[in-house]
Amino acid sequence: MAFDFVQGEVLLIDKPLEWTSFDVVNFIRSFLRKKYNLKKLKVGHAGTLDPLATGLLIICTGKMTKQIDTYQGMDKVYVGQMKLGATTPSFDKETEEDRHFNLETISEETLLKTAQKFLGEIEQVPPIYSAIKIDGKRAYEHARKKEHREIKPRKVTIHQFNLLNIDLPLVDFYVKSSKGTYIRALARDFGEALNNGAYLTALRRTQIGDFAVNNAYTLERFKEAVINETESNE
């Protein structure tokens, strides 16, 4: 295939673990500018993935960056795992466990019924360890400095929330949700609804709209595709 990154491309990238979404954008921008000897190139992503999450990231280049809002508005699909009986300040493995709870009274039936309570439109408070801007700073910057900041709830929609495998304290799940949904916050709220605790131990985004991670490039495969395409045109 012939790429035209200035006119614009929509790239499906499988984000690696421990990379931020901005890391991926910067990597692609830097690589393409060097490869094509460009002084400037617009590159942006359509929906943040946390560093400890992997999976589908839509990257737009050139004139297609004008379409980012369209892709951001699409529903998202995730598979992941959460640990019950404990919490962390970040609602994932970025921070250490700070509270612990007894799981003896938690049954599989209770878990399944509780998951159903989250279907439809709900109010969700985003994590303080997130990229939301508060007073000109990212929320996680305040959190890491132990600065308390209030984050207002927002309305999101959970289309599906299925518990795939229950092996306490670990629960595997599937979620289809609207834009703006924080799966870490869903795990936190799920734990609270059980009068218990929960946090994410793994998360992978598998779909955005009709775009699937199975059709995405790893960063290494993307580089190879660009190099092979340019060499075939020489």
**CATH for 111:** 3.30.2350.10
The answer to whether position 30 is within a domain reads yes
Average pLDDT over residues 57-79: 96
Mark whether 33 and 149 lie in a shared domain.
no
- Looking at the fold, whether 176 and 96 belong to one and the same domain comes out as yes
Least confident of 21-35, 36-50, 61-75, 132-146: 132-146
* pLDDT tens column, 106-133: 999 999 999 999 999 999 988 776 566 6
Indicate if the pLDDT at residue 1 is higher than 80: no
Which has the higher per-residue pLDDT, 214 or 1?
214
Domain assignment of residue 1, yes or no: no
Q: What percent of the chain has pLDDT over 90?
A: 79
49 lies in the same domain as 89: no
Q: What phi and psi, each to the nearest 5 degrees, are found at residue 155?
A: -90, 130
Structural domain for 161, as ranges: 76-208
Model pLDDT, residue 137: 58
Domain presence at residue 2: no
Catalytic-labelled residue, pool 4, 23, 50, 135: 50
pLDDT at 228: 86
The answer to whether residues 136 and 172 belong to one domain is yes
pLDDT of amino acid 145? 56
Q: Is residue 147 part of a domain?
A: yes
Q: Report DSSP state, residue 62.
A: G
> Is-catalytic flag, 98?
no
193 and 217 assigned to the same domain = no
- 34 and 83 together in one domain: no
Residues 48 and 37 in one domain: yes
**Secondary structure of 121-182 in the HEC alphabet?**
EEEECCCCCCCCEECCEEHHHHHHCCCCCCCCCEEEEEEEEEEEEEECCEEEEEEEECCCCC
Residue 147 has pLDDT above 60, yes or no: no
| pLDDT attached to residue 232 | 64
Residue type, 207: Q
For the chain, what is the domain count?
2
Does residue 4 lie in a domain region?
no
Predicted confidence at residue 128, as pLDDT, reads 77
Which single residue is written with the structure tokens 């460009």?
Answer: 38
Distances (CA, A) of 47 to 10, 58, 131, 230: 13, 7, 11, 29
CA-to-CA distance for 155 and 137, rounded, in angstroms? 22
Whether the per-residue pLDDT at 152 is higher than 70: the answer is yes
Q: Do 110 and 221 fall within a single domain?
A: no
Does pLDDT of 22 surpass 90?
yes
The separation between CA 219 and the C-alpha centre of its own chain, rounded to angstroms, equals: 17
Specify if 3 maps to a domain. no
CB 88 within 8 A of CB 100: no
Residue 95 lies in a domain: yes
**What is this structure's pTM?**
0.90
Q: What is the pLDDT of residue 141?
A: 59
Neighbours of 191 (CB within 10 A): 23
Same domain, 63 and 47: yes
Query: Does 140 have pLDDT greater than 60?
Result: no
pLDDT surpasses 70 at 77: yes
pLDDT grade for 148, boundaries at 50, 70 and 90:
low
- My answer on whether 220 and 105 are in the same domain is no
Residue 5 lies inside a defined structural domain of this protein:
no
Q: Are strands 154-167 and 170-177 parallel, antiparallel or unpaired?
A: antiparallel
Predicted local distance difference test score (pLDDT) of residue 126 = 85
144 in the same domain as 42: no
Same domain, 197 and 89: yes
Share of the chain above pLDDT 70, in %: 88
Average pLDDT of the chain is 91
- pLDDT for 2 equals 79
